A = this chain, B = another copy of it.
Amino acid sequence: MRPSLASFAAALETPPSGPGAYGIRVAHQAAAIIAVAAMVLDTQSTLAHSYGGILSVVVWVFAVLFAVEYGLRLALAPWAHWAHRDEPWRARWHWATNFHGIVDLAGALPVLTLAVGASPAHAQLYGAAWIVKLVAYAPGLELVGRVLRNARKSMGGLFLGFCMVLIVSATIAYEAEGSVQPDTFGSIPSAMWWAVVTVTTVGYGDAVPVTLVGRVVAAMVMVCGIGMFALWTAILVTGFSYEMRRREFLRTWDLVARVPYFHGLGAGTIADVAQLLRPSDFAAGTVVVRRGQPGDCMYFIVTGEITIDIKPPVTLGPGEFFGELALITGEPRSATVVAKTACELLHLDLADFRQLTARHPDVAKQIEAEASRRRRDGVVRRETLGA
């Protein structure tokens, strides 16, 4: 029985790649979107009156599905993760407390709260947590998380400063405005509501100082708010630009190392070339280069295949490059290039092509040799075909 369980568990697991995985993920995300939308609209009385029944059914169908998914995954965790197959409860605990487990727990919340005894109308509000299923797999999330983690010390210090501004300004505003406007500034916690609305520059206008002292403090709080916001931005900009450089370099290196064309280069040259190339993905059928457009970059194929739309069409595969002619001659693209399969390409900008030419003349020479060979071949082929 174990093998079948293991394969079922594996099928449940979102695999890291492959077209099946893509379909499952899209279906999963569509389900989350529909379920959240139904839950949100069901609270609108005008809609609930007409479609309330249907909306509620949709919400609970998905709620049950997500709960079943959570239960199955939890139960099958020992089989899905080979590492702990001999300690099933430890494997379950491990899965339940890791990132995927917590995201899936969010999916099961409505059913769990209903089971605990909440009313259905109340329990279905926990469906808002389904949105986590979308966000958890957003592409940039890990990057943003990394930036925030690196900057946590500066952000923590800034947050303390934020609290200080809140407390000190709320205390002064309470002292200055408390007797004039007891409803809105009658206690420090009330005044803190005003302070937080002001320091974030939201400014609802439900609490507004009227005394001179209150207004001077308010002006200082506003300026502090803008200043803290600017510092916050400065911290994130610094962290983000570091992470982006690091990440781009790493991904490009991996790709460069997979292009046979660069195999002969030393590590020093690869490090250099990797800083010039930039990766980009193309879905199957996408036009990579359109005939007649100005040519501002050339491409190296890492994975997948592309078709050059000449007669007869030419197909290039991993390790080959195209688009170099327009860079060398400065003329518009002479042919349209379409991605035959999903491709990972490295593109080399005109600006970077020139830097490469300047710094690594040998690489440039190889590209030009290949380019002139192609032009000659093109002529020959056209003559042969009578084109």
Contact = CB atoms under 8 A, between A and B. Distances in A.
A271 B158 CA distance: 31
Contacts of A171: 40, 125, 128
A355 interface: yes
B125 A175 contact: yes
Interface string A188-206: 1110110011101111111
Contact of A231 (B39, B83, B234, B236): B236
Contact of A167 (B36, B141, B351): B36
A167 to B, nearest CB: 5
A149 to B, nearest CB: 10
A307 interface: no
A334 interface: no
Contacts of A208: 204, 206
Contacts of A246: 349, 351-352
Interface stretch (A3-11, A66-74, A220-228, A371-379): A220-228
A164 B134 contact: yes
A1 interface: no
Contacts of A164: 131-132, 134-135
Contacts of A170: 40, 128
Given A45-B186, A219-B196, A128 B231 contact: no
Contacts of A349: 246, 250
A141 B159 CA distance: 11
A83 B293 CA distance: 12
A138 B167 contact: no
A310 interface: no
B135 A161 contact: yes
A270 B129 CA distance: 50
Contacts of A233: 229-230, 233-234, 236-237
Contact of A223 (B128, B186, B200, B226): B200
A204 B355 CA distance: 52
Interface stretch (A17-25, A312-320, A337-345, A357-365): A357-365
A219 B164 CA distance: 15
A144 B129 contact: no
A171 B125 CA distance: 7
27 contacts: A40-B189, A44-B187, A125-B175, A128-B167, A128-B168, A128-B171, A134-B163, A135-B160, A135-B163, A135-B164, A139-B157, A140-B155, A162-B223, A200-B225, A201-B202, A201-B203, A206-B208, A227-B232, A230-B233, A234-B241, A237-B240, A237-B241, A238-B244, A241-B241, A253-B351, A266-B358, A267-B358
Given A40-B167, A45-B187, A154-B140, A292 B203 contact: no
Given A135-B160, A154-B140, A189-B44, A253 B354 contact: yes
Contacts of A175: 122, 125
Contacts of A200: 201, 219, 222-223, 225-226
B158 A140 contact: yes
A266 B352 CA distance: 16
A174 interface: yes
B44 A167 contact: no
B157 A140 contact: yes
A167 B131 contact: yes
